[in-house]
Amino acid sequence: MIAEAGLAALWLAAALAALQFALALGAGGAEGRALATIRGVAVAQGLLTLAAFAALVILFLRTDLSVLLVAENSHADKPWLYKFAGTWGNHEGSMLLWVTVLAIAGAVVALFERHLDERTLGFSLAAQAALALGFFAFLLFASNPFERLNPAPAAGRGLNPLLQDPGLAFHPPTLYLGYVGLSVAFSLAVGALVTRDVGPALARAMRPWVLGAWVLLTLGITAGSYWAYYELGWGGWWFWDPVENASLMPWLAATALLHSLNVLAARGGLRAWTMMLALVAFSMSMVGTFLVRSGILTSVHAFAVDPTRGSFILVLLTLYIGAALALFAVRIATVKEGAPFDPLSREGALVANNLFLSVILGIVLIGTLYPLIAEAATGEKLSVGPPYFNATAGPLALILAALMMIGPQLRWRRDRGPMLQRLAPGIVVAVATLVATLLLAPSISLLSRLGLALGAGLVPASLAPLAGRALRRTPLATWGMCIAHLGVAAALIGMASDSAFTREKLTTAVPGDRIEVGPWLVELRSIRPVAGPNWTALEAELRASKGAGVSVLKTQSRYFTEPVTTTNEAAIETDWNGQLYAVLGAEDVATGRWQVRLWWKPFVTLIWLGGALIGLGGLLALIGRWWRAFRTRRRFVEAEW
Amino acid sequence: MIVRPKHQRLVLVSLALLAVGGAVMLAMWGLSDRAAYFVTPTDIAAGKAAGGQAIRLGGMVEKGSLRREADGVTIHFTVSDLTAKTPVRYRGITPDLFQEGSGVVAEGRMEGRLFVADTILAKHDERYMPPQMAGAVTKPAR
């Protein structure tokens, strides 16, 4: 019954999306009463989609094996958290989550957006409904999550154990909220292009959505990177896997958009540019969805190997991106010129930021799609990995970091003030670090050396906009910017330090053996079997010491029966200056010795700490803007009294 | 000097085009020698993989071919696609479900007639077989 109700809710929501689209277009963008009706339809559509998603969650929690999706992806013996998270640990469920977020985002815009021109909002809601309609159709015709299985099997097939991790419960929803939050920026840009109403008001309506989506993408990517780091047991934190790129590309576009939106909101400049980025950002979300959901990728994330689904998403993708770009081409000549500015100004620096981020985005996009294009064109199978991305995107990211030391300290419109004094702290620290690494670590690679120097220089430079200000009176948005930039500095130092100073030891040992890695002395104490809720494991106990004090690390090789799989659970000891990372391998049956792999990774934690700071900065900016809007509104009301 | 608005749009458009062009050029340069081609033992036997270039080798780990060096962490095995065989050396902990008779994708390069792997990817279970590997094992000859 629940499955049928969920399916009915989904059909009804799709019908409402069609109605919303027709109403908004028919009323020419809609004002007054007509807009009020459309707002109501959008809210109902959001609630119905949420109900459908809730139905699927219930089916998974109950392990209703008469539903095909549940039977194929769940098992009654799983802990409840993984039953719950298993709802989106598969193709159909994750697409339903995607559409749910899309519909709810549309509902929230419809409910709360009161400042934007009504006709623009009407067309934006039409665009949002058009997006939703396509993906509803995809769910209903190509990925029905509620399909029944007759007869029902006695037991489900279980969830890929690699995905059985608390991280899974929150990672995809976070990323999806980010991906799909950008749909609002897309729809607002479409609405504004239709009514030719591109200006600061639009930027202010768009900004919270972009900021929010960007914060969630940042946190999602950071969490995903840490998940891959401890779960895969390879000691790496970023693999340039196409699925990672699929989340990086919208992030890059959203980062550029975030910066150019500030120019549009504060100075009325970069109008065409900002609209383009708003269209590109959500297009990248859709490209990412296509890459992940079409199953054409070599990845643990690739659930579906069904060509009709891939083609379906590809058609939607072409349709939406093509229509948006066509609209852009037709309308952009009529968008008014922005306010002029000097090349050496805040605007100039933000243009440079946008250019570099766009080039990096282009490089990642081409590198990610190239294997698909090459195979389609020549039949040649190939993969593009870290050598390509590091060599091309790495240096550009460093130039961007160097620009970050300057940009935030420039004034709007034109800057004639003395430059050297303002830039001195950053430059001095960067040069000092460069010299120090040349003297102390002459053999590290150029890229990591520059990364360390620029990262260190960026620490004082990113805090410079706070210097000489009354800190309590400084707007939260400025605090947010400084903290986010500081996060970039921290992440950069962490990445460079990890690639320059990591020590690795790969060896075999029996209990009682001692292994040296970096400053640590690690003793293998014992290896014994342990059991979990739906797995058994061999657990190695390691005692690691560095001067005084001993830490105990427990690393496991886990064996799952449903489905049959083994995974390596890494053990990680976090110290203030880095992490010790241990993995247990297989036993050499002939000698009885166990494979042990150890890494000492100085300051690697800064990568994720930096990511968290970037997200925190965005969050502060978001809260600051809200607070300011709230206060002005209150003051306005008081003045009317 | 403040640039006049008309000029400013022209400058910005040119910069944007330059950025797109630059990205494409840079990507093409990077891809020209950094893309790892997916090969099968048959391709290697046919001389398709030049020495020193990064490649991905896919096929089955041949039964009875796996052996370990005295250091305990270096292994040797043979990858087969049912028509040809390639010997592989790898130093490291093999991933989950890497075993004889199973599918494998190894990243690395040819050193003479030996494939030296930096990374080994094994399938997690039968449902999560990468599409590339499925092709290599079911259609050995191309």
Instruction: Evaluate whether residue A591 is within a structural domain.
Output: yes
pLDDT band, residue B137 (cuts 50/70/90): very low
In a shared domain, residues A436 and A583 = no
Q: Are A101 and A217 in contact (CB under 8 A)?
A: no
Using omega within 30 degrees of 0 as the cis cutoff, is the peptide bond preceding A151 cis?
yes
Task: State the pLDDT at residue A185.
Answer: 96
Q: How many CB atoms lie under 10 A from the CB of residue B123?
A: 22
Task: Please compute the mean of the pLDDT values over residues A598-603 and round it to a whole number.
Answer: 94
Domain C-terminal end among A159, A185, A206: A159
A550 DSSP β-pair partners: A545
Assign residue A307 a region: left if phi > 0, alpha if psi is -120 to 50, beta otherwise?
Answer: alpha
Instruction: Evaluate whether residue A323 is within a structural domain.
Output: no
Task: State the pLDDT at residue A304.
Answer: 42
Among A270, A362, A413, whose Cβ lies nearest the Cβ of B27?
A: A362
Chain A residue with minimal CA distance to B34? Answer: A388
Number of residues written out for chain A: 641
- CA separation for the pair A364, A588 (Å, rounded): 41
Q: How far is B4 from chain A (nearest CA, A)?
A: 7
In a shared domain, residues B64 and B26 = no
Candidates B102, B110, B109; CA nearest to B130 is B102
> Is residue A563's pLDDT more than 50?
yes
In a shared domain, residues B60 and B124 = yes
Task: State the pLDDT at residue A361.
Answer: 96
In a shared domain, residues A133 and A26 = yes
Count of alpha carbons within 13 Å of A328, Cβ hemisphere only? Answer: 20
A418 DSSP β-pair partners: none
Q: How far is B116 from chain A (nearest CA, A)?
A: 17
- CA separation for the pair A615, A139 (Å, rounded): 32
Structural domain containing residue A25: 1-159
Count of alpha carbons within 13 Å of A442, Cβ hemisphere only? Answer: 1
Task: State the pLDDT at residue B139.
Answer: 33
Three-state DSSP at A228 gives helix
Q: How far is A256 from chain B (nearest CA, A)?
A: 13
A499 vs A535: which has the higher pLDDT: A499
User: Hey, are the CB atoms on A162 and B36 less than 8 Å from each other?
Assistant: no
- CA separation for the pair A33, A577 (Å, rounded): 61
In a shared domain, residues A560 and A618 = no
- Sequence-distant (≥ 6) Cβ neighbours of residue A297 within 8 angstroms: A242, A243, A291, B131
In a shared domain, residues B22 and B77 = no
Distances (CA, A) of A168 to A83, A245, A301: 11, 18, 12
Task: Please compute the mean of the pLDDT values over residues A400-413 and round it to a whole number.
Answer: 90
Task: State the pLDDT at residue A164.
Answer: 67
The token duo for B126 is: 């039968």
Structural domain containing residue B13: 1-34
> Is residue A127's pLDDT more than 80?
yes
Assign residue A233 a region: left if phi > 0, alpha if psi is -120 to 50, beta otherwise?
Answer: left
What is the DSSP secondary-structure string of B76-127? EEEEE-SS-EEEEEEES---TT--TTSEEEEEEEEETTEEEEEEEEE-SSGG
Per-residue model confidence as pLDDT tens digits over A259-278 = 999 999 988 888 888 999 99
Least confident of A7-16, A261-270, A585-594, B123-132: B123-132
The token duo for A534 is: 């739906």
pLDDT band, residue A599 (cuts 50/70/90): very high
Task: Please compute the mean of the pLDDT values over residues A536-543 and round it to a whole number.
Answer: 91
Task: Please compute the mean of the pLDDT values over residues A38-67 and round it to a whole number.
Answer: 92
In a shared domain, residues B133 and B94 = yes
Task: State the pLDDT at residue B141.
Answer: 29
- CA separation for the pair A495, A450 (Å, rounded): 11
In a shared domain, residues B69 and B27 = no
Q: What is the ipTM of this complex?
A: 0.81
In a shared domain, residues A54 and A123 = yes
Task: Please compute the mean of the pLDDT values over residues A181-202 and round it to a whole number.
Answer: 92
> Is residue A482's pLDDT more than 90?
yes
Task: State the pLDDT at residue A360.
Answer: 96
The token duo for A437 is: 């690494």
Token pair 């392990």: residue: A63
Task: State the pLDDT at residue A236.
Answer: 86
Q: Are A39 and A95 in contact (CB under 8 A)?
A: no
Q: What percent of chain A has pLDDT over 70?
A: 94
Task: State the pLDDT at residue B4.
Answer: 57
User: Hey, are the CB atoms on B23 and A362 less than 8 Å from each other?
Assistant: yes
In a shared domain, residues A492 and A521 = no
- CA separation for the pair B131, A315 (Å, rounded): 22
> Is A169 in the B-facing interface, judged by CB distances under 8 Å?
no
Candidates A249, A225, A220, A223; CA nearest to A498 is A225
Candidates A452, A454, A481; CA nearest to A465 is A481
In a shared domain, residues B41 and B108 = yes
Instruction: Evaluate whether residue A535 is within a structural domain.
Output: yes
Q: Does the pTM exceed 0.95?
A: no
Per-residue model confidence as pLDDT tens digits over A567-593 = 778 899 998 899 999 988 888 777 888
In a shared domain, residues B2 and B58 = no
CA A225 to the chain's CA centroid: 10
Count of alpha carbons within 13 Å of A17, Cβ hemisphere only? Answer: 27
Task: State the pLDDT at residue A161.
Answer: 64
Terminal-residue alpha carbon distance, chain A: 55
Task: Please compute the mean of the pLDDT values over residues A386-394 and round it to a whole number.
Answer: 92
Task: Please compute the mean of the pLDDT values over residues A603-608 and round it to a whole number.
Answer: 96
Per-residue model confidence as pLDDT tens digits over A302-327 = 444 566 777 888 889 899 999 999 99
- CA separation for the pair A63, A66 (Å, rounded): 9
Instruction: Evaluate whether residue A243 is within a structural domain.
Output: no
In a shared domain, residues A635 and A490 = yes
In a shared domain, residues A455 and A511 = no
Residue A451 gets which letter from DSSP?
H
> Is A295 in the B-facing interface, judged by CB distances under 8 Å?
yes
Q: Decide the pairing of beta strands B85-91 and B114-122.
A: parallel
- CA separation for the pair A378, A467 (Å, rounded): 57
Number of domains in chain A: 3
User: Hey, are the CB atoms on A388 and B30 less than 8 Å from each other?
Assistant: yes
Task: State the pLDDT at residue A42.
Answer: 94
In a shared domain, residues B27 and B86 = no
User: Hey, are the CB atoms on A506 and B73 less than 8 Å from each other?
Assistant: yes
A528 DSSP β-pair partners: A539
Task: State the pLDDT at residue A162.
Answer: 61
pLDDT band, residue A69 (cuts 50/70/90): confident
In a shared domain, residues B29 and B59 = no
The token duo for A7 is: 């399916």
> Is A296 in the B-facing interface, judged by CB distances under 8 Å?
yes
In a shared domain, residues A635 and A583 = no
Terminal-residue alpha carbon distance, chain B: 64
> Is residue A288's pLDDT more than 50?
yes
What is the DSSP secondary-structure string of A143-159? --TT-B-SSPPSS----
pLDDT band, residue B122 (cuts 50/70/90): low
Q: Are A250 and A182 in contact (CB under 8 A)?
A: yes
In a shared domain, residues A116 and A53 = yes
- CA separation for the pair A203, A222 (Å, rounded): 27
Token pair 């809710």: residue: A9
- CA separation for the pair A315, A94 (Å, rounded): 19
Tell me the range of A72-81, A225-234, A617-626 where mean pLDDT is highest.
A617-626
A172 vs A294: which has the higher pLDDT: A172
Distances (CA, A) of A189 to A176, A197, B138: 20, 9, 48
In a shared domain, residues A556 and A480 = no
* Segments in A199-345 forming alpha helices (H): 200-231, 242-267, 271-293, 307-331
Per-residue model confidence as pLDDT tens digits over B2-38 = 555 567 788 888 898 999 999 999 999 998 888 888 8
B91 DSSP β-pair partners: B74
Q: How far is A303 from chain B (nearest CA, A)?
A: 8
In a shared domain, residues A511 and A527 = yes
Per-residue model confidence as pLDDT tens digits over A518-529 = 899 999 999 999
pLDDT band, residue A636 (cuts 50/70/90): low
> Is residue A299's pLDDT more than 60?
no
> Is residue A394's pLDDT more than 60?
yes
Q: Are A186 and A324 in contact (CB under 8 A)?
A: yes
User: Hey, are the CB atoms on A273 and B16 less than 8 Å from each other?
Assistant: yes
- CA separation for the pair A394, B79 (Å, rounded): 34
In a shared domain, residues B9 and B79 = no
- Sequence-distant (≥ 6) Cβ neighbours of residue A388 within 8 angstroms: A240, A367, B30, B31, B34, B35
The token duo for A458 is: 């960026």
Q: What's the CA dihedral at A217, A572, A502, A392 to 10 degrees?
A: -20
Task: State the pLDDT at residue B5.
Answer: 57
In a shared domain, residues B16 and B54 = no
Name every chain A residue with its beta carbon within 8 A of the beta carbon of B2.
Answer: 340-342, 413-414
Q: Are A184 and A207 in contact (CB under 8 A)?
A: no
Task: State the pLDDT at residue A417.
Answer: 79
Name every chain B residue with its beta carbon within 8 A of the beta carbon of A341.
Answer: 2-3, 8
> Is residue A405's pLDDT more than 80?
yes
Mean pLDDT taken over chain A: 88
pLDDT band, residue A560 (cuts 50/70/90): confident
In a shared domain, residues A456 and A518 = no
In a shared domain, residues B12 and B54 = no
Per-residue model confidence as pLDDT tens digits over A236-252 = 899 888 888 999 999 99
Task: Please compute the mean of the pLDDT values over residues A397-423 and round it to a whole number.
Answer: 88
CATH code assigned at B117 = 2.40.50.140
Tell me the range of A96-110, A340-354, A567-581, B93-107 where mean pLDDT is highest.
A96-110
Number of domains in chain B: 2
Phi, psi for A595 (deg, rounded to 5): -75, 135
> Is residue A341's pLDDT more than 80?
yes
> Is residue A564's pLDDT more than 80?
no
The enclosing H or E element of A128 equals: helix A118-142
Chain A residue with minimal CA distance to B26? Answer: A392
